[in-house]
Amino acid sequence: MPAERPVIERRILTALEAVPPRIPVVVGGCGIGRTSLLNRLGARLGPDTERIDIERAATTPEGFLAAVTRATRCQAPAADPGTDDPRAARAAFDRLCAFLALARTPNGGSVTFLLDEVLEIRTFQSFPGLRGALREFWTALCDSPNRFVLTTRFVSRARRLFRDAPDRFEFVHLPPLSPTEVGASLTRLGLGATDGERLELGRIIHALTDGRPRYVRLLAEATAAVGAGDPVSALAAQMAPDAPLSMACRFCYELRLHRARGYGALKAILEVLSLEEPLTLTEVAHRLGRTPGSTKDYLSWLEDVDLLSVRHKRYSFTDPMLRLWVHLHGQATPPNEDDLAREAQEYAVARFPYMESDQAATPAVAAGRKTRRDHSRSMIEID
Contact partners, residue 161, CB within 8 Å, separation at least 6: 119, 122, 134
Residue ranges with strand state E in 76-164: 112-116, 147-152
Q: Are residues 162 and 208 in the same domain?
A: no
Q: Are residues 266 and 343 in the same domain?
A: yes
Q: Are residues 185 and 269 in the same domain?
A: no
CATH code at position 150: 3.40.50.300
pLDDT digits (tens, 9 = 90+) for 196-248: 888 888 899 999 999 999 999 999 999 988 876 789 999 999 999 999 999 99
Contact partners, residue 79, CB within 8 Å, separation at least 6: 86, 95
Is residue 281 situated within a structural domain? yes
Q: Are residues 50 and 141 in the same domain?
A: yes
Q: 3-state DSSP call for residue 306?
A: coil
pLDDT (0 to 100) of residue 365: 34
Sign of CA dihedral 176, 180, 183, 187: negative
Is residue 56 situated within a structural domain? yes
Is residue 41 situated within a structural domain? yes
Domain hosting 15: range is 6-173
Is residue 236 situated within a structural domain? no
Q: How many CB atoms lie within 10 A of CB 91?
A: 18
As a whole number, mean pLDDT of residues 155-161 equals 91
Could you give the CA distance from residue 185 to residue 181 in angstroms, rounded to a whole number?
A: 6
pLDDT (0 to 100) of residue 3: 67
Q: Are residues 270 and 195 in the same domain?
A: no
Whether the CB-CB separation of 177 and 216 falls below 8 Å is answered with yes
Q: Are residues 167 and 25 in the same domain?
A: yes
pLDDT (0 to 100) of residue 107: 86
As a whole number, mean pLDDT of residues 278-298 equals 95
Could you give the CA distance from residue 218 to residue 207 in angstroms, rounded to a whole number?
A: 14
pLDDT digits (tens, 9 = 90+) for 103-128: 998 888 899 999 999 999 999 999 98
CATH code at position 336: 1.10.10.10
Whether the CB-CB separation of 27 and 158 falls below 8 Å is answered with yes
Q: Are residues 187 and 303 in the same domain?
A: no
Closest alpha carbon to 215 in 365, 58, 102, 325: 325
Q: Are residues 364 and 327 in the same domain?
A: yes
pLDDT reading at 373 higher than 50: no
Is residue 220 situated within a structural domain? yes
Q: Are residues 202 and 295 in the same domain?
A: no
Q: 3-state DSSP call for residue 83?
A: coil
Give residue 346's identity as a one-letter amino acid code. Answer: E
pLDDT (0 to 100) of residue 363: 35
pLDDT (0 to 100) of residue 189: 76
Could you give the CA distance from residue 141 to residue 133 in angstroms, rounded to a whole number?
A: 12
pLDDT reading at 357 higher than 50: no
Q: Are residues 259 and 297 in the same domain?
A: yes
Distance of CA 287 to the CA centre of its chain: 28
Contact partners, residue 84, CB within 8 Å, separation at least 6: 90, 91
Q: Are residues 113 and 205 in the same domain?
A: no
Closest alpha carbon to 128 in 71, 82, 84: 84
Domains in the chain: how many in total?
Answer: 3
